[in-house]
Chains A and B, each alone.
Chain A
Amino acid sequence: MSTFTLQAYQNEYLPLGGTDVNAIVTVTSDGAGGPSGQPEAAVVVIVDTSGSMGSPSRKIKAAREATSVAIDCIRAGVAFAVIAGNDHAFSVYPRGGELAISSEQTRTAAKRVVSGLTPAGGTAIGSWLKLAGELFRATPDRIYHAILLTDGENQHETPAELDAVLAEVEGVFSCDCRGVGTDWQVSELRKIASRLLGTVDIIAQPEAMAEDFRVMMHTAMGKATRNVDLRLWTPQGATVAFVRQVAPAIEELTDRAVHVNDLTADYPTATWGAEARDYHVCINVPPREAGEEMLAGRISLVEGDQVLGQALVKAIWTEDQQLSTRISREVAHYTGQAELADCIQDGLEARKRGDFDTATFRLGRAVQLAAESGNDGTMKLLQAVVEVDDAATGTVRLRGNVSVVDEMSLDTRSTSTVRVGAGAGAGAGAP
């Protein structure tokens, strides 16, 4: 059984009449397996084998190689399968609608099949996910994860068809999505990864695929706890303004609430290995008198009804403005990181439709926020799109020639955040 630790960071003091309670909750899991034996993993690699993967041919070559590397990483005993997808989905290994159990023999057989994958046909991502869901359902009691690789838009399926499949497989498995080249839609893959609680990224160079697949496969097999929810209790008369994951990347969870009772809702967090994530919770509470204290939120991590850990979010009303006007460092930091992601996505969209004033303004603000928070990764990506005159004031000029790869990389990774104090070299919340 993994040990989960929750810690809340907030300024619990509110001015008289104040109603907004903000807190950052850090959840840490040690990823340890239990004495009773953790459920084993089940992984499916979904490879796009549509016709476009053959031009240039190094795309399909890299995909074959990356899939082989991923297969090599599969621990003995883990259930796995390889799906090849074009406008239909094919369970190329093993055949017969179930998962294989990893062994020297099955891995070798799978790699032999993968080396023969040939590009042809169109792209219908929903059908691939649907098949993955069917394979997982046929192998009960596992921690389910898929890796999806595509190079193109979902052209042979309507958005409604994809949505229907997502609704069907949501909660069954998690899925990391990777786009290779520049012909895929960032928003489309982000939607899939978001719904299926996975990551999304661009693989600009096919040659970089193998290493990325290796990392994803290791992460997937390091998961020790599944079906974990963030449970939020709020008092009578309170409303949840938002719940969002803010590290390692921004992920809105507000709309994903599943109500347990009138005062309690669960938000999905899927599977956990040895990792730390931060959540930003904002609760509106009915105001009370000066000096009164209220529990504004009880946040727990639950697996079914078993509480794995919890943290308390409090509100105390005070007339002392020195107390009530302070903003928690953690809350301020992650508010900035969320704004950073918004600015990038807005700025890129404005740039695309030719509104260069808005693009300059929004991307300038993004540069300023990235600099303030020490988000060097995002800063580097921003610099490929804008010329930075002064990061402190957010003074930038749009670059004239921006490669599609740079633009898509910035868009895809805009939601990546850094933890508090990463720029200054201090640990989160350290005194």
Chain B
Amino acid sequence: MSVVCPSGHQSQTGDYCDQCGAPIAGATQVLPPAEEAETSPAARRGPCPACGSQRSGDDRYCEGCGYDFLAPPPAATTWEAIVTADRAQFERLAVAGVSFPDDYGERRFPLQEGENRIGRSRGHAGEEAPEIDLAPPPADPGISRLHAVLERRPDGACVLRDLGSTNGTTLGDGPAPIAAHTDIPLGDGDRIRVGAWTTITVRRL
């Protein structure tokens, strides 16, 4: 496949132009560096299941989110956030200059007890990235750096809190964004809409 960069070059790579290096807006393709990791038996070496960061060597904790690679699978009540791109939402909002990512793979984030921030890291070394980091391309430009929080409470409940994001957070299919800095209790299967096309479905496991 080939895409056209802002300077008009034909590029075989969809994230940055393979001629001039310019970012390609609404990039629809990324070369998955860890393609093999997902299919090989050594998948434990692959990206972090929580935030998608590459694991550094045999490091026990993820550099992106602190996920423990050696942790046994969680028991008891736990929640999971499933991030997908929703074309209906994208067409409803119709944000100018943003294109829909056709090959947006589903991203799953197990929710840790306590706060799980939704946002976009800047990719700095040493940066404390949000637990639910939606920076890896294709990135939704409508998501704030620190957008919202999913809090898993000790009693097993899960609440959503918008952190005063630029474009707001909506719950379900309603048009009205939720109030900022206010806890909204969530139920199994609730769908949270952020940005131009991102839908986060929470699941009680």
Measuring CB to CB, which residues of chain A are less than 8 angstroms from any residue of chain B? Answer: 1, 3, 5-7, 9-12, 26, 28, 30, 32, 233-238, 263, 276, 285, 293-296, 298, 307-312, 314-315, 328-330, 427-431
Contacts and interface: CB of A to CB of B under 8 A. Distances in A.
B31 interface: yes
Contacts of A294: 16, 20-23
Given A294-B21, A298-B16, A427-B56, A3 B125 contact: no
Interface in B117-176: 123-128
A314 B15 CA distance: 12
23 contacts: A3-B36, A3-B37, A5-B34, A5-B54, A5-B55, A5-B56, A5-B57, A6-B33, A6-B54, A11-B124, A12-B123, A12-B124, A28-B57, A235-B21, A236-B19, A294-B16, A295-B21, A314-B123, A328-B125, A329-B125, A329-B126, A429-B126, A431-B126
B42 interface: yes
Interface in B8-32: 13, 15-23, 31
Contacts of A285: 21
Interface stretch (B59-67, B73-81, B191-199): B59-67
Nearest to A297: B21
A430 B59 contact: yes
Contacts of B203: none
A429 B46 CA distance: 17
A233 B21 CA distance: 10
A28 B56 contact: yes
B2 interface: no
A205 B125 CA distance: 43
Contacts of B182: none
A5 B125 contact: no
Nearest to A234: B21
A26 B20 contact: no
A293 B33 contact: no
Contacts of B37: 3, 5
Contact of A5 (B45, B127, B128): B45
B63 to A, nearest CB: 6
A51 B146 CA distance: 72
Contacts of B21: 234-236, 238, 285, 294-296, 315
Contacts of B20: 235-237, 294
Contacts of B63: 7, 429-431
A237 B20 CA distance: 8
A311 B159 CA distance: 36
A276 B58 CA distance: 10
A329 B63 CA distance: 15
Given A310-B31, A430-B59, 5 more contacts: A6-B54, A236-B20, A295-B17, A328-B125, A329-B126
Contacts of A12: 123-124
A28 B126 CA distance: 19
B42 A9 contact: no
B23 A293 contact: yes
B42 A7 contact: no
B54 A307 contact: no
A376 to B, nearest CB: 21
Nearest to B13: A298
A3 B61 contact: no
Interface centre among A30, A293, A310 (most CB of B within 10 A): A30
A30 B42 contact: yes
Interface centre among B21, B36, B37, B63 (most CB of A within 10 A): B21
Nearest to B64: A431
A424 to B, nearest CB: 13
B107 to A, nearest CB: 19
A309 B31 CA distance: 9
Given A328-B125, A429-B125, A295 B23 contact: yes
Nearest to B53: A7
Interface centre among A3, A30, A298, A429 (most CB of B within 10 A): A3
A233 B20 CA distance: 11
B123 A1 contact: no
A26 B57 contact: yes
B120 to A, nearest CB: 14
Contact of A428 (B54, B56, B61, B128): B56
B42 A431 contact: no
Contact of A233 (B18, B36, B126): B18
A237 B21 CA distance: 10
Contacts of B34: 3, 5, 309
Nearest to B39: A1
A390 B23 CA distance: 49
Nearest to A10: B125
Contacts of B128: 431
B132 to A, nearest CB: 16
Contacts of B126: 329, 429, 431
